[in-house]
Every structure is written in C-alpha cells, then in structure tokens.
Amino acid sequence: MARLRVVSYNIHCGIGWDGRFNEQRILDVLREIDGDVIALQEVESRAAGVDMLAWLAEGLGFHAIAGTTLLHPDGNYGNGLLTRCPVLCSKILDLSFESREPRGAIAADLTCEGEAIRVVATHLGLRPAERRDQVETLLKLFRESPDDRAVLLGDLNEWFLWGRPLRKLHNYFQRTPSPRTFPTIMPVLSLDRCWVHPRTILQRLYAHRSRKSRLASDHLPLVAELHF
C-alpha cells in the first residue's frame, strides 16, 4: 500500500504571529510534519535576501516548483510546491481575475512508490467572483483525466461555507473535513482546504498544532494522509 502525506501551508512570507521574519521556524514546522508533498502559499524571495522556496527545498532535500504570481525588482512572491516524490511533469496556471491581485496554481503529476497522482496547489482570490471563476478553471484540470488519483489543496480564502465555489468542489470531489486553520492562536476559519479523488484514499485530514506552528505563521498547516 502506498502512503502519502500531503501538506498545505500559508507561510505568510515567513513572518510569524509575533511580527518577526524567521525562515527557520517554517523549516522546523515542516520537519515536524514530515510531509511528502508540500503546497506553500505566500512564498517570498525578498524578506531576508534569500529565496524562501529554494532555501526550504535545500533544507528538506526536496524538489521545488515555483509558481510565481508577483514579480518585483528585488524578488518575487507566490506559490511553491515541494516534493520528495519524483515529478513526471508540471505546469503553472494563471488564475488572475480582471484587475485583482494576480493568482495562480501549480499542477504536478507525481509518482509515489510507483503510483501516479496529480497534485494541484493554489491560493485563490479574496472576492467571491474571483473564486467562482478560479474554481471553474481548476476543475478543468481534473476533468481532463477523471479516473486518475488527484489532490487539490491550498488557501482558498473562502469565508462562506455555503458559497458556490465550495459547493462545486464538494460536488466534484465529495465533501471532506474542514479543520480550522486561521488564525493560529485561536483558529476560527477553515481557509486552507484539501479535496481528494477518489475520496476513499483520504485516511485523515487535520490541522497541525504545535508550539512552533502557532508562532511561525498566521495559518496552521493542513495535513492530509492518503493510502492507496
């Protein structure tokens, strides 16, 4: 039986609950979780003159795929995917909506103990109209190969549990638990989400709570354990 631990983590540019930048705390939290595939949001290469994604990948010994959404003269900002599983192929999707902040997603086909799985990592917009449009675009990725194993995860910024984007995702993937991940000190919102196809391979879904994770970012990491 293949086992895969998948993580979604909004690292808030490495700025913790105390307002201080500390990339080491993010790395320590990821080592606590010991995930196989890690979707990161709000990854920055400017805060301390380091490329956060490359630095974390080196510290974990993982492959890295950058999903940059904002370019600056002194660095960039966006999504990232870290994986210890071999990458068969990957692509970056532009989910930008009108004049809103640019958004995107990373789609990667991986092999886990010889078994194939598609992982899509994203960070959706703040307005409901954005999220509706972005979810429609994302679902096309899964409809291309409806029989394949797949995971969609990330910070969906969906405050409304009855909103249309969530209903569409539940209808396609089947409903999954929604642990509260934001804010870290007293989580009340389930902004970070994960859906899996087929639903039967999802064994556990939880927010990783520890002393370090409560301080390292304003989001708790979301962890999914898959068996197939």
All structural domains of the chain with their residue ranges: 3-227
The confidence score (pLDDT) of residue 99 equals: 86
Specify the CATH class of 3-227 in words. Answer: alpha beta
Helix (H, G, I), strand (E, B) or coil at 201: helix
- E strands along 29-184, which residues? 37-44, 63-72, 75-83, 87-94, 104-112, 115-123, 150-155
Q: What is the pLDDT of residues 103-116, one digit of tens each?
A: 999 999 999 988 99
Q: What is the pLDDT of residues 186-212, one digit of tens each?
A: 999 999 999 999 999 999 999 999 999
Provide the whole-model pTM. Answer: 0.95
